[in-house]
Amino acid sequence: MPHRPYVIDVMISAKTIAARIEELSRAIQEEFADTDKLVVVGLLRGSFVFIADLVREIDMPVEVDFLEASSYGDGMESSREVRILKDIRGQIEGRDVLVVEDIVDTGYTLEHVIHLLESRKPRKLRTIALLDKPTRRETGVRADWIGFEIPDEFVVGYGIDFAQRNRNLPYIGKVRFTDGA
């Protein structure tokens, strides 16, 4: 499939992201100070860079698991139909869980995942999102911690893709199409 030509403008630098992750990790450690091991559940694929950097900053025992949910496919708009493509492997009943999301847009994916994991009776379930687009929200869900609130722009980088491209950028960038369409 040919892609529309585009350029990427830096929106949030790698340095700014790293500083914010340090702040967020301190808040997470305070919230889960009484746990013996935190289960960190990353939502694939977009959160993989964020989760890697975040768990390295959390100074407590962590277990990492992954869940893959999709409501986008290769498009730019949410289908609002959430599918679980890969479930977590471990048990979370009675455990402390932190769900790590790359971006909360309409809210359907995070809302679906929260309901799914809450049904498994964790002791405590909290959520963190690197990016939040509150103007796009169609559900009542909100992450407990947010890295950055951003406007309604199509973004890539730091694990977030456009049709499986640009995940490797060390920053968050805004996609700007150059074909005028």
Q: Give the C-alpha separation, 42 to 49, whole Å.
A: 10
pLDDT, tens digit (0-9, with 9 covering 90-100), for 8-20 = 999 999 999 999 9
Identify which of 52, 48, 39, 59 has the alpha carbon closest to the alpha carbon of residue 127. Answer: 39
Q: Mean of the pLDDT values across residues 37-57?
A: 96
Active-site amino acid positions: 105
- Across the chain, which distance is largest between two alpha carbons, in Å? 54
Rg (CA), the chain: 16
The architecture (CATH level 2) of 14-150 comes to: 3-Layer(aba) Sandwich (3.40)
Q: Mean of the pLDDT values across residues 105-116?
A: 94
pLDDT at 37: 94
Q: Please report which confidence band the pLDDT of residue 4 belongs to, taking 50, 70 and 90 as the band edges.
A: confident
Q: Please report which confidence band the pLDDT of residue 77 belongs to, taking 50, 70 and 90 as the band edges.
A: low
pLDDT at 19: 98
